[in-house]
Structure 1
Amino acid sequence: MHDIRLIRDDPAAFDAALARRGVEAVSARILALDEYRRGVATRLQEAQNRRNEASKSIGTAMGKGDKDTAEALKAEVAQIKDLLPALEADERQHDEAIRAELARLPNLPAADVPEGADESDNVEVARWGTPREFAFTAKEHADIGPALGLDFETGAAISGARFTFLRGQVARLHRALAQFMLDTQVDTHGYTECAPPLLVKDDAAFGTGQLPKFAEDLFRTTDGRWLIPTSEVSLTNSVREQIMGADTLPLRMTALTPCFRSEAGAAGRDTRGFIRQHQFEKVELVTVCKPEESAAEHERMVAAAESILKALELPYRKMLLSAGDMGASARKTFDLEVWLPGQAAYREISSVSNCGDWQARRMNTRFKPEGSKKTEFVHTLNGSGLAVGRTLVAVLENYQDEDGSVRVPEVLKARMGGIERLVPA
């Protein structure tokens, strides 16, 4: 959500920022609605003031015995009372229209976000690790996974496409990865562990930006709730409609949850394998902070996600997303892309975004700076620390051997009950 004062103060700059994201100019339309609404509000206030003045004057006229004046004033008050509901409805209708216009707009990109329309314009910021050189042709996880317990056929038989049934060794490795990630974010990086709801109401999905524009990307229950696409929705909305104390910020939260996505916008992409599923697990990171802290918190959050990849010794690169490739709620996003030798390509495994005050305005979440009587909107950030399924894919491909077995990363061995290698059945 945007502050309409930004549009009033400099509509050209607002439209120019939206244009960087491929969005057409909207300032003229919104300002026309705003001008009309403000005019209605002025007429409403004037009518209310006149009603109050006339009501007081009735008593004065009656006290003087001036019945004609009193009756005329009564008639005027009655006429104004008849007019007020229409003015109130008109103001409310235009308030809602302006809010709807603002709600559908993406966040404005930060000044240092690269220009560009899509992922081809993203900029590589850093690279870590050297991809392993194989003495054999590395296979994709979809080829070696089934013999290790990655059962695509049973998942599809039970639930349809983009569902997978994990068994035995690979299920345990998946669990070990998830617990390792969660423990690291809590014990090493100081995030507070949470276990949030997986179903949310409309207001929560609106607050983080999934609604109204991206409803088709979600799953909805018959009673009108939404399955979370990421625990960002639940964690961020845990502070909705609050005025937070400055001493409680920054607030850092993490959760390991199932996530559910319809993948409506990804038809035909990654249909093979475990990369793009309707149901998956993810360790999410969310930070709520003061505006002046958000840039540093963004770097801190990216580093927390990177630490998992480094501990697992998985080569990756850090990408700064272009204006056209960012999610709607983000003003700046870093993606971490892990090396997958089976595909001979880097693939996204974490996306970490600074949303500024865009989500806070939708949730009405503020804080009171020390020594100030006025409140300000907080800044929110979110990111993956990491996506568990995609990390499992990366481990299977990077730690595979020619016989189809997969070595367990050193950092996970203590969590594997003595299993040091996944062996094909």
Structure 2
Amino acid sequence: MHDIRAIRENPDRFDAALSRRGDAPVSAELLAMDEARRAKIQAAESAQAEANKAAKEVGAAKGRGDEDEFERLRKLVAEKKAEIARLNEEAKAEDAALTARLAEIPNLPADDVPDGDDEDDNVEINRWGTPREMNFAVEHFEIPAVKDAMDFETAAKMSGSRFVLMSGPVARLHRALAQFMLDIHTLENGLTEVNPPVLVRDEAMYGTDKLPKFGDDSYRTEEGMWLIPTSEVPLTYIAAGHVIDEDYLPRRYTAHSLCFRSEAGSAGRDTSGMLRQHQFEKVEMVSVTHPDESDAEQKRMLRCAEDILERLEIPYRTVVLCTGDMGFGARRTYDIEAWLPGQKAYREISSVSTTGDFQARRMNARFKPAEGGKPQFVHTLNGSGLAVGRCLIAVLENGQQDDGSVKIPAALQAYMGGRTMITADGTLA
């Protein structure tokens, strides 16, 4: 959510920042709505002042026996009360309209975000590891060790397309990845583990900028609850409505949860295998910070995610997204892309974003400065640490051997009962 006062103070800067995203200027429209709202408020205040003055004079007119003046003033007070009620309702409607319009406008990019139109304009800032030479590489679902344990046909019979039924060692490896990530984040990275609900109300989706714009991308129950698209939603919404002591910041959370997305805008994309599913799992990281610390916190979160891949021996590259490729609520986003030998390409496995105070304004999350003064909005950040299913794909494809088996990374072997591979016939060894 944007601050209308900041737009009022510098409309040209606001429009210029939006134009970097490829969006048309909107400050004139917003300021006109703001002026209409403020005019109603001022008119209501003026009417209230007139009503207060007349109310004081009613008693005096009654006291001196001036019945005509008494009736006139009494009638005026009643008329002003009705006028005030009408103006307040109109001001409330104007305010709701302005708030709704502001909620549709994306966050402004940070000054250091590169300009660009799409993913081709993203800028690589880091690369780790060297992809293995493999003339036998296939996609994850084609690896002999995996074929029987990754069943898309049965899942489709149950649920339709873009679901998978995993079993045996592959299901165990998927579970091991989530446990490994949680252990690193909680025991080494200082995050607090949370087990959040996967059903949330409108307020939580709105507060984390998933509504109203992206309602079609999520699933809603008949009772009006939403299946979370990511645990960013409940983790971030922990701070909603609170005024947090500055000394209590930063708050750092992590959660392993099911995630649900309708993928409404992705028809025809990544339909093979389990790269893009309606139901998937992620280990999410969320930080709630002081505004002065949010940029440093984003870099810290990025390292937390990169470190997971390094421990799993997965080559990756890190890019900063350009203005045309950033998500709606982000000020700056770093994507980590893992090397997938089966596709011979780097594919996104984590996004780490700072939203500034964009989400905090929507959910009224503030902190109390230690030196005193008015409460200020916190900054919120989120990042995948990592997407479990996509990480599974990366482990399987990078670990595949020419005999059809899959080597298990050393970091996961303890989670797999000390086993070091999935054989070509799908057993642990």
TM bucket (normalised to shorter chain) is: over 0.9
CA deviation after TM superposition for structure 1 residue 148, in Å: 5.0
Q: Distance in 2 between matches of 1:264 and 1:219?
A: 10
Q: Which amino acid aligns with 1:140?
A: E
1:164 counterpart residue number: 164
Q: Distance in 2 between matches of 1:151 and 1:423?
A: 18
Q: Does 1:194 align with 2:213?
A: no
CA deviation after TM superposition for structure 1 residue 83, in Å: 1.5
Q: Which amino acid aligns with 1:97?
A: A
1:283 counterpart residue number: 283
Q: Distance in 1 between matches of 2:239 and 2:115?
A: 33
2:212 counterpart residue number: 212
Q: Which amino acid aligns with 1:226?
A: W
CA deviation after TM superposition for structure 1 residue 5, in Å: 1.1
1:329-381 deviations in Å (ceiling 9; x for gaps): 10000000000111110000000000000000000000111122301000000
Q: Does 1:81 align with 2:87?
A: no
Q: Distance in 2 between matches of 1:283 and 1:272?
A: 23
Q: Distance in 2 between matches of 1:40 and 1:111?
A: 36
Moved more, 43-52 or 141-150: 141-150
SS in 1 for 2:117: coil
**TM-score after normalising by structure 2:** 0.97
**For residues 240-255 of structure 1, what are the structure 2 equivalents within 5 Å?**
240-255=240-255
Q: 2:146, 2:170 within 8 Å by CA — same for their partners in 1?
A: no
CA deviation after TM superposition for structure 1 residue 424, in Å: 3.0
1:267 counterpart residue number: 267
1:141 counterpart residue number: 140
Moved more, 75-84 or 26-35: 75-84
Q: 1:141, 1:397 within 8 Å by CA — same for their partners in 2?
A: yes
Q: Does 1:47 align with 2:85?
A: no
1:130 counterpart residue number: 130
1:70 counterpart residue number: 70
SS in 1 for 2:352: strand
Q: Distance in 2 between matches of 1:215 and 1:280?
A: 18
Q: Distance in 2 between matches of 1:205 and 1:70?
A: 54
Q: 1:146, 1:152 within 8 Å by CA — same for their partners in 2?
A: no
SS in 2 for 1:75: helix
Q: Distance in 2 between matches of 1:121 and 1:304?
A: 25
Question: What percentage of residue pairs aligned between the two structures are identical?
Answer: 57
CA deviation after TM superposition for structure 1 residue 419, in Å: 2.3
SS in 1 for 2:380: strand
Q: Distance in 1 between matches of 2:194 and 2:157?
A: 33
Q: Which amino acid aligns with 1:216?
A: D
CA deviation after TM superposition for structure 1 residue 110, in Å: 0.1
1:319 counterpart residue number: 319
**For residues 364-403 of structure 1, what are the structure 2 equivalents within 5 Å?**
364-403=364-403
1:304-347 deviations in Å (ceiling 9; x for gaps): 00110010010000100001101101000000000011111000
Q: Distance in 1 between matches of 2:234 and 2:148?
A: 34
CA deviation after TM superposition for structure 1 residue 67, in Å: 2.2
2:301 counterpart residue number: 301
1:350 counterpart residue number: 350
Q: Distance in 2 between matches of 1:415 and 1:151?
A: 23
2:95 counterpart residue number: 95
CA deviation after TM superposition for structure 1 residue 395, in Å: 0.6
| Unaligned segments of structure 2, at least 5 residues | none
* Alignment RMSD: 1.0
1:205-231 deviations in Å (ceiling 9; x for gaps): 000111000000001111000000000
SS in 1 for 2:265: helix
Q: Distance in 2 between matches of 1:304 and 1:268?
A: 32
Q: Distance in 2 between matches of 1:418 and 1:159?
A: 34
1:12 counterpart residue number: 12
Q: Does 1:106 align with 2:106?
A: yes
CA deviation after TM superposition for structure 1 residue 80, in Å: 1.0
Moved more, 17-26 or 63-72: 63-72
Q: 2:141, 2:147 within 8 Å by CA — same for their partners in 1?
A: no
Q: Distance in 2 between matches of 1:392 and 1:243?
A: 39
SS in 1 for 2:351: strand
Q: Distance in 1 between matches of 2:328 and 2:141?
A: 31
Q: Distance in 1 between matches of 2:339 and 2:371?
A: 49
Q: How many residues align?
A: 424
1:171-219 deviations in Å (ceiling 9; x for gaps): 0100111100011000010000000000000000000111000000001
Q: Which amino acid aligns with 2:136?
A: T
SS in 1 for 2:346: strand
Q: Distance in 1 between matches of 2:138 and 2:39?
A: 67
1:410 counterpart residue number: 410
1:30-75 deviations in Å (ceiling 9; x for gaps): 1111111111111100101111111111112222222222111111
Q: 1:148, 1:170 within 8 Å by CA — same for their partners in 2?
A: no
Q: 1:318, 1:336 within 8 Å by CA — same for their partners in 2?
A: yes
SS in 2 for 1:266: coil
SS in 2 for 1:176: helix
Moved more, 145-154 or 232-241: 145-154
Q: Distance in 1 between matches of 2:240 and 2:328?
A: 19
1:262-297 deviations in Å (ceiling 9; x for gaps): 011111000000110101110000000100000000
CA deviation after TM superposition for structure 1 residue 147, in Å: 2.5
Q: Distance in 2 between matches of 1:60 and 1:291?
A: 56
Q: Which amino acid aligns with 2:109?
A: P
Moved more, 414-423 or 231-240: 414-423
Q: Distance in 1 between matches of 2:225 and 2:80?
A: 43
CA deviation after TM superposition for structure 1 residue 14, in Å: 0.5
Q: Which amino acid aligns with 2:381?
A: L
Q: 1:147, 1:424 within 8 Å by CA — same for their partners in 2?
A: no
Q: Distance in 2 between matches of 1:263 and 1:348?
A: 16
